[in-house]
Amino acid sequence: MKISIIGTGYVGTVTGTCFAHRGNDVICVDVDPGRIEKINQGIPPIYEEGLEELLKEHAGRNLKATADYDYAIANSDISFICVPTPTDASGKIDLRFIREASRSIGERLKNKSSYHVVVVKSTVVPETTEKVVTPILEQASGKKAGKDFGVGMNPEFLREGKAVYDFMNPDRIVVGADDPKAGEVIRKLYAGYTCPILTADTKTAEMIKYVSNSFLATKISFSNEVGNICKLLGIDTYKVMEGVGLDARISPHFLRSGLGFGGSCFPKDVKALVGKASEVDYEPILLKTVLEVNERQPLIALRLLKKHVPDLRGKKIAVLGLAFKNDTDDIRESRAIPLIGMLLAEGAIVTAYDPMAAGHMKNVYPNISYFGNAGDALDGADACLIATEWGEFSKLNGEFGRMKTPIVIDGRRVVNSDIKGLIYEGICW
Ligand code: UGA
């Protein structure tokens, strides 16, 4: 099929490249000339495992990038809106880019005679496609949705770092459409996938995305709550969750307790669902608590640290791990951010190391000391906090010998707690 992708961020680039790899002709649209040039040269604007190889294979062949909406809409049958949906100052979803993209597509649909389907892939709160996107498309095109063109919603379930794998091997595909013809076109695009393909109306598809992320976030906060209780009872919560996760109805995934969840999705999506619920006059107490438990975890880490180092003034504390999870340089909503903030507020001198994310953290905390390896960050430290589950932290050993006092507060259960001489505390174990 002929596809246009609006927005070449993480979702757009992965979606466009993977659709090209599945044999479609793809045109990516962006306003940023730098990004367009990079994509046309086969250089991904973001890092994702396996993406560069695929983009190199298809750029200039069946995938091209352009700023030209006229060309993109005229030469495609289906457009995916993949623009960012940030949260505004009040915590509500900001639909500015969704509106702009809808208007730009709608203006081009005005002169298009063949049937075209517009699909929202960005994460948007329920009713956005129906009540924001469709009316703008109709107004800008002067045509009727469901008759002259189709509208759909097809949420993404891509983990950062594993997005290409997840696109190619999904657990399920959700096709949202308010008219059957549009739904049929979107389903055709996914022909050949063996996973279940669920069809729903657009607001249900939008809700499925929020509920999936909110449920996973709930599993994490639940595990953290249990972990906090286990810690006080002297029980290993990881053993408990291993036993719990063996129940097929529960599953062993997303039960790792620790510092809590970060990233560009879970915190934002749970907050947006809380916001949407209050709009319809419902108080989502469970979801609010999921966020509260998450906010509290870094505080618990600090409390544990102060058990060993009661006065942090002038003490050198090493923070290992700055990214919101391992294998990414993304620090959005990383639990390391509040953690470092609290350490600085207590008067500590913070040293930090992360294999990939230090560059970004320098914009948030320019005045802490960053090191190129864990050993140097630990040198002379009074204690250390582990904030990200990087695999290399499980191999640390002699490096702890460089600390003034080898106290480790592990927020991610990665450090080997059996190392001789180590004063080890797991946050929930
Ligand atoms: C998440 C979802 O997993 C994807 O399915 C979804 O498509 C994506 O959001 C999105 O909405 O675009 P992602 O944010 O990349 O993906 O990261 P995850 O791997 O889900 O991890 C999120 C956070 O939860 C990390 O901070 C991680 O450390 C934490 N986590 C995860 C735990 O604390 N415990 C766990 O057991 C699992």
Residue whose Cα lies nearest atom 4 of ligand 1: it is 159
Is 307 buried (19+), middle (13-18) or exposed (0-12) by CB count in 10 A? exposed
Cβ neighbours for 351, distance < 8 A, ≥ 6 positions apart: 316, 317, 318, 319, 368, 369, 370, 371, 377, 378, 379, 381
What atom of ligand 1 comes closest to residue 269's alpha carbon?
11
Q: Pick from 14, 121, 211, 216 the residue to mutate for probing ligand 1's pocket: most ligand atoms within 8 Å of its CB.
A: 216
H or E segment to which residue 5 belongs = strand 2-6
Query: Where does the pLDDT of residue 20 fall: very low under 50, low under 70, confident under 90, or very high at 90 and above?
Result: very high
Backbone angles phi, psi at 288, to 5 degrees: -65, -40
> Which residue shows structure tokens 């891509």?
158
Residue whose Cα lies nearest atom 37 of ligand 1: it is 254
pTM score, whole prediction: 0.96
Backbone angles phi, psi at 72, to 5 degrees: -65, -45
Produce one character per residue of 219-238: b if its CB has 16 or more CB atoms within 10 Å, e if not. bbbbbbbbbbebbeeeeebb
Name residues contacting ligand 1 (CB within 6 A). Answer: 156-160, 213, 216, 220, 254-256, 258, 260-263, 265-266, 324-325
Edge-to-edge strand order for the sheet containing 78-81? 63-66, 25-29, 2-6, 78-81, 117-120, 150-153, 173-177, 197-200
Nearest C-alpha neighbor of 60 from the set 31, 30, 28: 28
pLDDT in tens, 157-191: 999 999 999 999 999 999 999 999 999 999 999 99
Residue whose Cα lies nearest atom 3 of ligand 1: it is 159
Q: Pick from 237, 261, 331 the residue to mutate for probing ligand 1's pocket: most ligand atoms within 8 Å of its CB.
A: 261
Cβ neighbours for 329, distance < 8 A, ≥ 6 positions apart: 47, 323, 356, 357, 359, 360
Mean pLDDT across the chain: 97
**Across residues 404-415, what is the average pLDDT?**
98
Question: 255 alpha carbon to ligand 1 midpoint, in Å?
Answer: 11
Q: Is the Cβ–Cβ distance between 164 and 18 less than 8 Å?
A: yes
Neighbours of 191 (CB within 10 A): 9
What atom of ligand 1 comes closest to residue 209's alpha carbon?
11
What is the spatial distance between Cα 265 and Cα 313, in angstroms, rounded to a whole number?
A: 35
What is the spatial distance between Cα 79 and Cα 153, in angstroms, rounded to a whole number?
A: 11
Q: Does 89 score more than 80 pLDDT?
A: no
Query: Where does the pLDDT of residue 87 fall: very low under 50, low under 70, confident under 90, or very high at 90 and above?
Result: confident
Q: What is the pLDDT of residue 90?
A: 74
Query: Where does the pLDDT of residue 32 fall: very low under 50, low under 70, confident under 90, or very high at 90 and above?
Result: very high
